[in-house]
A and B are shown apart, each in its own frame.
Chain A
């Protein structure tokens, strides 16, 4: 595994630079290798979409970056997480805590369970100011109302004392976004922010997030399994499989021609209006168990292009064009085959 593969349009100072990150979970059935040498970088104002099935390690990577892994059983076993050039993994617990929430914030999938059910949303928002900035109770509450107004919650002043269950799904997710924005972070990690919402609300919430990101020139990591969401907002895509990045590319390049058979499989498995009438291709088989990842390329048991070399040699991230990389021995053939 090499860590040369870099997404992004080169240059630019990276806001976040994750290098060769490795995370393990100790389980009853053995050690689960959830993240196996993941590298990516995010520039200020850039949106990186991390795409993958459940169990691909995309959420675990994000949790390791935030420093909120369930530990035990989870453990970072290698790599670096450079944020503004400083390796977060070497910081003391207290220093790291001060960065969390203030400089980098996270938005979770299901706001109903991610918000504390027994505290008012106002209290949960105000808490950010109180803890990180020592703001007085009264002022913190005032700023909570401002935040709620900013993310478009009607009658914010009256609703600041309401509890999460009293809001609709979309409004709850707006509150989550408000909480993440509270202290003007440089980086936001959004873990499936719209998956739990109704389709009609999904677009509204996504638009709000994109708009705020532009306005505040924040870096955004968007974790999702939904290719549709990605196309609209992301600049760059990193596709994950079995705890590895298999392909990174600028979003449009990747949609036009994938450079990895797994990505191609993903693209072919979604129904598209312009391909109406064509047969959908599902990827055969299931992702591997993280306690027993196959040797060589982890995707080889499911790959239509697999050769002997795939069963023995893990592919490095090959440079596969401007700003893109693919972890496939046959990336050229894949690119050609798709054309």
Chain B
């Protein structure tokens, strides 16, 4: 087990370097960070050259990247467009997005798994068909469409929820955005659970459980669900990292000052330290979430051995 973790961590290194370098390359080599600093004004050539030297931008790309990563591991992420340090920006943005993601994940589990279990157990009947169709529709409506629709209906027409979120982003204001963020994944969780339940419900061990005279609820929760949720847990686990990085649209619609919002601002203003810094952390979260899922797997399924 320990050896497996070490090996997986080692395997993560090239992926981490590759992903961050790719983003670094796109931001620094394809854009012009110095020009971006001055906005529409043309920079004084001497000043521009000075800044380039200060930021290591006159060095070859590989060296720039190494320098940048070196700085990051010392906790120095550079300066954001508004003069704040990127670290400060992260300290304010990540907790907000973390709360948003948490709400989304909880909704995925509660609603997605429940719907999936119900339709899986009633496979082929009315409930099942409608859930299946509904999930396809949900998957097909892009988040920026469903976001505006839900905002319009719940936030404006019925005024059940705040149409935009205050800077402190308390949990209750994040409920509606959390739902919007969760919707597509929720539909996948539903379908995945349904398939898994429907497949397992005819499994021999379920028949054994029935033959043992166990009550129906025990057969479902202890035997059927435990086996069926293994792929679902995997999906939700990997979704944590993905949701955090993917909240750009949701945060824009509801004006939430989280990771996605800051990243969007950073990209619009071509502030390279913000973009690369945030992405680096996100890639790290994503990779660690994947590792966690793999390890969780062994807990859920004793047949899996880590060699």
- A45-98 contacts to B (CB < 8 Å): 66, 68, 70, 97-98
Q: Identify the interface centre among A68, A70, A98, A165: most chain B CB within 10 Å of its CB.
A: A68
- B191-238 contacts to A (CB < 8 Å): 202-205, 207-215, 218, 222-223, 226-227, 230
Contacting pair A108 B302 (CB below 8 A): no
| Chain B proximity mask over A265-308: 1 for CB below 8 Å, otherwise 0 | 00000000000000000000000000000000000000000000
Chain A minimum-CB-distance residue to B230: A118
Count of chain B residues near A, Cβ 8 A: 23
Expressed in whole angstroms, the Cα–Cα distance for A118 and B229 within the complex equals 11
- A246-273 contacts to B (CB < 8 Å): none
Q: Name the contact of B227 in the complex, choosing from A68, A114, A117 (C-beta under 8 A).
A: A117
Which residues of chain A have C-beta atoms less than 8 A from B156's C-beta?
Answer: none
Given contacts A110-B204, A163-B302, are A179 and B223 in contact (CB under 8 A)? no
Chain B minimum-CB-distance residue to A163: B302
Q: Name the contact of B202 in the complex, choosing from A70, A100, A110, A118 (C-beta under 8 A).
A: A70
Which residues of chain A have C-beta atoms less than 8 A from B209's C-beta?
Answer: 116
Question: Looking at chain A, what size class is its interface with the partner chain?
Answer: 20 to 34
Contacting pair A68 B210 (CB below 8 A): yes
Expressed in whole angstroms, the Cα–Cα distance for A132 and B212 within the complex equals 9
Asked if A199 CB lies within 8 Å of chain B CBs, one says: no
Asked if A209 CB lies within 8 Å of chain B CBs, one says: no
Asked if B9 CB lies within 8 Å of chain A CBs, one says: no
Contacting pair B301 A99 (CB below 8 A): no
- B268-307 contacts to A (CB < 8 Å): 300-303
Chain A residues near B (Cβ < 8 Å): 66, 68, 70, 97-102, 105-106, 108, 110, 113-120, 127-128, 131-132, 163, 165, 179
List 12 extra interface pairs beyond A99-B213, A132-B213, CB under 8 A.
A68-B207, A68-B211, A100-B211, A101-B212, A108-B204, A113-B204, A113-B205, A115-B208, A116-B205, A116-B223, A127-B214, A131-B212
A-B contact pairs, 28 of them (CB 8 A): A68-B207, A70-B202, A97-B213, A98-B213, A100-B211, A100-B212, A100-B213, A101-B213, A106-B208, A106-B211, A108-B207, A113-B203, A113-B204, A114-B204, A115-B208, A116-B208, A116-B227, A117-B227, A118-B300, A118-B301, A119-B222, A119-B226, A127-B222, A128-B212, A131-B212, A131-B218, A163-B303, A165-B303
